[in-house]
Structure formats: structure tokens, C-alpha cells
Amino acid sequence: QSVLTQPPSVSGAPGQRVTISCTGSSSNIGAGYDVHWYQQLPGTAPKLLIYGNSNRPSGVPDRFSGSKSGTSASLAITGLQAEDEADYYCQSYDSSLSGPNYVFGTGTKVTVL
């Protein structure tokens, strides 16, 4: 089961700003591990959107931005466009005695009204 909690859905009209939260705990985000965000369009593989909490890979529009504070992180989409309708996942790392443990959020479906 996912250890990072996201709202199941968010929606907004074209041009609006929406935010997606990603809530973790002291063993993952709160432990200082970086948060990454992925966009998954219907029927396709995930695509890296934000890495290292707030960095955009080349080619990702600056409408997408990320932030992190305490045990949570957020993804903001400004100037919402129809093509942004997709599922979004946060991802971090959880400390474990048995080795690395990459953890994903529960996922958020963004609907453009």
C-alpha cells in the first residue's frame, strides 16, 4: 500500500491554477528525502514532471512547479490546459532496515472542466 497520500481527484477550468498535495511522514518526506512528480496520460507510461522537489526536466512547461515543506510536498499547475488531464503521482524514498524502498503516492486524477 502507498505510504504517500494524495487527493483522489482535483479539477479546474482551463486557465485556472490547481494544486496536488502529497502527504508523507517522518520516515520518507520528513526525513529529508527528495520528492519527484510524474504525469501519466491515459494508456501511457509515466513521465517525469518534477525532480528533486522543484526542478523541471528539459521540455516540461514552466506551468508545472513543485515544492516541499516538512512531511508534505505539492505540485501546482498554473494556466491549466486540456492536455493536462491525466493522473499525477508523487514519489519519494522511505527509510527501511531491509534496504531501499521507493514509495509512490496514491495518485491524483486531474480533470479539466
Partner 1 sequence: EVQLVESGGGLVQPGGSLRLSCAASGFTVSSNYMSWVRQAPGKGLEWVSVIYSGGSTYYADSVKGRFTISRHNSKNTLYLQMNSLRAEDTAVYYCARDNRSFYDAFDIWGQGTMVTVSS
Q: What does the binding site for partner 1 look like in residue numbers (CB under 8 A)?
A: 2, 34, 36, 38, 44-48, 51-53, 55, 57, 89, 91, 93, 98-107
CB of 87 to partner 1, least distance (A): 8
Residue among 2 and 67 whose Cβ is closer to partner 1: 2
CB of 102 to partner 1, least distance (A): 4
CB of 100 to partner 1, least distance (A): 5
Residue among 16 and 102 whose Cβ is closer to partner 1: 102
CB of 33 to partner 1, least distance (A): 9
Interatomic CA distance for residues 58 and 19, integer angstroms: 22
The DSSP call for residue 3 is: S
Largest Cα–Cα distance of the chain, in whole Å? Answer: 46
- Quickly tell me which residue has 522537489 as its cell: 53
In whole angstroms, how large is the CA radius of gyration of the chain?
14
Q: Which residues contact 91 (CB under 8 A, 6 or more apart)?
A: 4, 35, 36, 37, 38, 102, 103, 104, 105
Residue among 16 and 69 whose Cβ is closer to partner 1: 69
Residue among 78 and 104 whose Cβ is closer to partner 1: 104
Interatomic CA distance for residues 53 and 21, integer angstroms: 12
